[in-house]
Amino acid sequence: MNRVGGPDAGQTLRSETLIDEVASDAVLEKAYRWLCERRKRYWHNNDVWTLRWRWAQIKPQVQSELLSGRYRFEAMDMIPDSPDEVALWTSRDALVLKALAIVLTRHLAPRLPKTCYHLMGNGGSKAAVRYVVSRIAWP
């Protein structure tokens, strides 16, 4: 910063931090729609139904906790009677994780190489196999 409080040459001021983006209405609503779709067939006692029913009250609480740095993830739920050990994020935590993923993908995807095939839009496993096959020297 220079003496008058403005940015020095080559610096820019960011008006919005990443956490501001995560806590924004648009990102949280997108994450909420994703969560509702992903968990629409969950059992009737799952916490997703409480989140959906009380979304108008829960959303401002989540935003406030995120912006103040007070958001804390809860312990994961273990799914009983499953053949494997399955752990499930609470609905609030899954929503926040999705919001983080939305924002970080927006900022990081342009900087990552196209050979990160596991990322959406980079071809997936088929592109990875094609790449490996193209690099193998066949006899």
Q: Give residue-wise pLDDT tens across range 23-32.
A: 999 999 999 9
All residues at 6 or more sequence positions from 36 whose CB lies less than 8 Å from its CB, including other chains: 48, 52
- 5-9, 30-34, 116-120: range with lowest mean pLDDT: 5-9
What is the model's pLDDT at position 15?
55
Here the tokens at position 88 are: 């499930």
Helix (H) or strand (E) holding 50: helix 48-53
Dist CA 139 CA 136 (whole Å): 9
Res. 18: pLDDT tops 90: yes
Neighbours of 104 (CB within 10 A): 13
Global confidence as pTM: 0.77
What is the model's pLDDT at position 1?
42
Q: Which residue has the higher pLDDT, 124 or 24?
A: 24
DSSP state letter for 88: E
- For residues 78-97, give the mean pLDDT: 90
